[in-house]
């Protein structure tokens, strides 16, 4: 019996699980390799997922650089993530998990959002009511979060592993400069992606999300008036 669209979507949502994949910098050379055509197919799926995630709703037009959406997406494939991992570990002396996450992923998608009134100077120079200014920035942030969740679900539908990180050191201004990301943007999500075939690579360490066993439906209430 064929399943309804709602059943398929619900299954994708349930199957999305946080998977932190870490690889020591010294072990990067020992990772499994994939055929070029397989890599090309997965990269196309990542791009397709990002484009589909761009269908997330947003309330206010941001209109920065004539782009309506309040978010931006930056893709780093594995050759770039390896370079960033080494830069953080060897040049910056970072010993937290970011270099290992970069070394363990097959792709990284950085999702930023563009505050409109976050800068006090922007608030003072605007004719919009201050409370309305805060609401607009909250709307921009909420819309970007919806975009990130949609991206996670799309990648899950391609059987890819994902981890939504807040970014850690990747949020810093010096990393924005290193990566060429405009500093008027703020990082909301560093989405680390692992291709399906690579999930069997035992040279990496995998950790489940810390809230995986804390789920419930207790937050649902029905209001009767």
- Per-residue pLDDT of 179-210, as tens digits, reads 999 999 999 999 999 999 988 777 788 888 88
Domains held by the chain: number: 1
Q: Is 5 a member of any domain?
A: no
Q: Is 84 a member of any domain?
A: yes
User: Do 109 and 149 form a contact (C-beta atoms < 8 A)?
Assistant: no
> How many Cα atoms sit within 13 Å of 223 on the Cβ side?
2
Confidence of residue 1 (pLDDT cuts 50, 70, 90): low
Q: Is 57 a member of any domain?
A: yes
Q: Is 137 a member of any domain?
A: yes
Q: Is 42 a member of any domain?
A: yes
Q: Is 218 a member of any domain?
A: no
Question: Comparing 131 with 193, which gets the higher pLDDT?
Answer: 193
Q: Is 170 a member of any domain?
A: yes
The CATH number assigned to the domain holding 114 equals 3.40.109.10
For the entire predicted model, the pTM comes to 0.92
Check pLDDT > 80 for residue 110: yes
Check pLDDT > 80 for residue 149: yes
Check pLDDT > 80 for residue 88: yes
User: Do 198 and 106 form a contact (C-beta atoms < 8 A)?
Assistant: yes
Q: Is 197 a member of any domain?
A: yes
Check pLDDT > 90 for residue 130: no
Domain that holds residue 147: 15-208
- Those residues whose C-beta lies under 8 Å from the C-beta of residue 74, and which sit 6 or more positions away, are 109, 110, 112, 179, 181
């Amino acid at each position: 019996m064929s399943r309804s669209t709602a059943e398929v979507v619900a299954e994708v949502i349930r199957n999305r699980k946080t998977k932190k994949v870490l690889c020591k910098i010294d072990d990067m050379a020992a990772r499994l390799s994939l055929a070029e055509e397989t890599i090309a197919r997965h990269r196309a799926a990542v791009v397709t997922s990002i484009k589909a995630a761009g269908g997330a709703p947003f309330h206010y037009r941001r209109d920065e650089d004539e782009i309506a959406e309040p978010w931006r997406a930056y893709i780093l494939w594995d050759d770039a993530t390896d370079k960033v991992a080494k830069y953080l570990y060897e040049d910056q002396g970072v010993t937290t998990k970011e270099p290992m996450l970069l070394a363990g992923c097959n792709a990284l998608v950085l999702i930023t959002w563009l505050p409109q009134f976050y800068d006090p100077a922007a608030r003072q120079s605007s004719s919009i009511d201050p409370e309305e200014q805060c609401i607009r920035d909250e709307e921009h942030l909420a819309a970007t979060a919806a975009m990130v969740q949609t991206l996670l679900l799309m990648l899950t539908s391609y059987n890819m592993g994902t981890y939504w990180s807040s970014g850690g050191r990747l949020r810093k201004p010096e990393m924005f400069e290193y990566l060429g990301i405009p500093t008027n943007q703020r990082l909301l999500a560093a989405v680390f992606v692992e291709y399906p075939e690579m999930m069997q690579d035992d040279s990496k360490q995998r950790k489940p999300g810390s809230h995986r066993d804390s789920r419930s439906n207790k937050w649902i209430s029905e209001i009767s008036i």
